[in-house]
Chain A
Amino acid sequence: SQQGEEDPQALSIQEGENATMNCSYKTSINNLQWYRQNSGRGLVHLILIRSNEREKHSGRLRVTLDTSKKSSSLLITASRAADTASYFCATYPNMRFGAGTRLTVKP
């Protein structure tokens, strides 16, 4: 069964705007990770947040984790056309991925 579930399913924004994606999960986790997938390609790891962390930053990425609500969010600031991709959350140790959010950034 799928573990993480992202919303929205699709998001379309203008270049320069911020993009926020959410992920909900069902069971306890050691950590939660976000991955990116360009169309027809493999996934690329973006960022990992551990269960005892609440927020983490990496460049233009900001991830939050609320274990009481079993949810996480990924914020991409100052988006670029090159950020257009699908974004997935994955929970560990379950190794399960959600259906993803398809982000389109218009130039």
Chain B
Amino acid sequence: DGGITQSPKYLFRKEGQNVTLSCEQNLNHDAMYWYRQDPGQGLRLIYYSQIVNDFQKGDIAEGYSVSREKKESFPLTVTSAQKNPTAFYLCASRMGKLTDTQYFGPGTRLTVL
């Protein structure tokens, strides 16, 4: 099956710990994105990457870090510097110049205790 996967679906961490959320796609898409969604809210862009080994900050990058070492993978690290990390995190990918449609993963719900 082609698609975009995120793991795990639920994640619990203690305050002060860094945690890495996984995002993998086998769609051969060039661009990948990370969004944060709080209850009853829209999506806010954290980071995005248009090509391997390159990424840009979105609107709320503080306290987060990413890497794009492989085309199919775009992990997000939520660091201890993120003051309110409990949220639903969504990863998306886009083919590139041919289309602007984004394909979303199922999301990871992070709860910091």
Query: Which A residues lie at the B interface, using CB under 8 A?
Result: 1-2, 30-31, 33, 35, 40-45, 48, 88, 90, 92-93, 95-100, 102
Contacts and interface: CB of A to CB of B under 8 A. Distances in A.
Tell me the dominant secondary structure on chain A's binding face: strand
Given A43-B90, A95-B33, A48 B104 contact: no
Nearest to A5: B42
Contacts of B48: 95
Interface of B: 33, 35, 40-45, 48, 58-59, 88, 90, 92, 100-107, 109
Contacts, number: 55
Tell me the dominant secondary structure on chain B's binding face: strand
B44 A2 contact: yes
A2 B42 CA distance: 8
Nearest to A102: B40
A100 B42 contact: yes
